[in-house]
Chains A and B, each alone.
Chain A
């Protein structure tokens, strides 16, 4: 059974039609990349999947791990194993990263019928997972994303993903604003989290990220539609030709 099955998805933001009939199926363990120019609707897709209420789904059906996403609020989707790594992670003053992570991990564990982690077990989990993206201890004690550099914020997103162990990780332009070293750390982190069952949806503008996180499938999104799908070689094709040909076909 597919992990994520999107059928004819249409969505609006503030009355504007952004997604115009998206179809996408992701099976367990697959890595899909969505590439496209700015404004094509890539981030909208990510946020519709995550349950951001600013985005209005007007048509279509999204099945995630057997459940209809319409029935699940954002926190229930997260608990069911859907994780969005934000393009712009939010800074939250006054809540330490540790406290926030503990609340998140225990919320997800409760949903899975697992015991709440006590302070010691939680610290063990932190020690184990912080290696994934080489998170420094001082970032754990600081307020969530507050005063973090761009790269630290993105690493913190992947770190959270490692802590929450989702079924599907959606990376929304995780490569934006990263230098080559940070890009490598983040990509290594994602690759370390790949398992036969865990799937990823990697949203990016540039082919560069896909040199590190090698996808099974690549989809090209233009003006709210997937205009072409293929294997990882499609990303290279885009690198050479750009998005102009598809945009041209549509007369944009």
Chain B
């Protein structure tokens, strides 16, 4: 479909349906009227925010627009294309299985920029590609669209990082489409550090061919209100999708994670570990849906959502959903909500560690299980520090 046509269809959908309300089952616990009732400007300015690259190659987006001056993509090996999505429109763009979502529709109708990454068959990129989105424009909306295509037997690591100026209010509305061809190995990270007064919504959808190893790690620290929709479609046999995440929420932050893993073919694995630490009056929603279609025999799906509550004022809605139509499968899910282990705190104290430090150590330990699974050492170290800072 031509881009113009894609945009018009999406705009028509958005116009007809508008933003979801809490009457919509998928949005029951997340009220987006604050977004719906805000007029966002279309102004633009360059950003003053600082950033630290986590790889040799990076694209920097300033308030939704790519800055070629701040980006660095020289020295990319042959077979790797990285640039603005506006210069590289792939015919597969918009093949999302959830194109009806209002946020995706708004993005499709109005995206102004985003990253395009294409890795040719058999090419391995050692350094991560870091996509940095800087936001410091009050009252603006940023519709960023990313398209990532990993060729057959290619290897790539992509890090998306959203950085916001504190006390700035804006709406960040991103969509990332990933196409992972047979035997590819794709690690996708998202680090969300939006302003605590901003709105952040993103849909990430990965379509996996045969024998693909795909991982997505989402670290959520920012935004007043937001949601991640993370969707995996397992379309080829022998693939594995790992979708892990960590959300650290305080004040009145509300963050919603909706995972959807669609097992359409036999012999695929999907593993999901989501952990949350909530303080003050924070709210979290976790909905993990695993669909095992009739043909998807010998599926191995494991899902776990664990929450640590640091105050009595927090609230968490955890909704695991298994939908299984095949008979020879292994699927488990679990959800827990708890407080710090008093016995462990006492044990640390009897070794001279004061309660405040013990508290921080145990809270960090809780988060550490997710960090342990991170393959990229740059991400592991950086997010480890973010978690430590958050705890202080």
Contact of A89 among B347, B366, B367, B368 (CB under 8 A): B347
Q: Tell me whether B365 and A94 are in contact (CB under 8 A).
A: yes
Q: Tell me whether A74 and B364 are in contact (CB under 8 A).
A: no
Residues of chain A lying within 8 A (CB to CB) of residue B368: 94-95
B133 to chain A, nearest CB (A): 31
B353 lies within 8 A of chain A by Cβ: yes
Contact of B352 among A78, A89, A95, A99 (CB under 8 A): A78
Closest to A91 in B: B344
Residues on A lying within 8 angstroms of B by beta carbon are 50-53, 73-75, 77-79, 83-84, 86, 89-90, 92-95, 99-100, 103-104, 107-108, 111, 143, 160, 164
Residues on B lying within 8 angstroms of A by beta carbon are 341, 343-344, 346-355, 357-358, 361-362, 364-369
With contact pairs A51-B349, A86-B347, A92-B344 given, residues A75 and B369 touching in the complex (Cβ less than 8 Å): no
Residues of chain A lying within 8 A (CB to CB) of residue B351: 75, 78, 100, 103-104, 107, 160, 164
Complex CA–CA separation, A35 to B368 (angstroms) = 42
With contact pairs A74-B346, A92-B347 given, residues A107 and B365 touching in the complex (Cβ less than 8 Å): no
Residues of chain A lying within 8 A (CB to CB) of residue B350: 50-51, 74-75, 77-78, 83-84, 86
Residues of chain A lying within 8 A (CB to CB) of residue B354: 75, 107
Q: Tell me whether A73 and B352 are in contact (CB under 8 A).
A: no
A78 to chain B, nearest CB (A): 4
Residues of chain B lying within 8 A (CB to CB) of residue A52: 346
With contact pairs A52-B346, A78-B352 given, residues A103 and B365 touching in the complex (Cβ less than 8 Å): no
Extra inter-chain contacts (11) besides given A52-B346, A100-B361, CB under 8 Å? A73-B349, A75-B348, A78-B350, A90-B344, A93-B369, A94-B366, A103-B351, A107-B354, A108-B352, A143-B365, A164-B352
Complex CA–CA separation, A75 to B346 (angstroms) = 9
B343, B352, B364, B367: most-surrounded residue (chain A CB, <10 A): B352
Q: Which 3 A-B pairs have the closest CB atoms?
A: A94-B365, A104-B351, A107-B352
A114 to chain B, nearest CB (A): 13
With contact pairs A78-B352, A79-B352, A104-B353 given, residues A95 and B347 touching in the complex (Cβ less than 8 Å): no
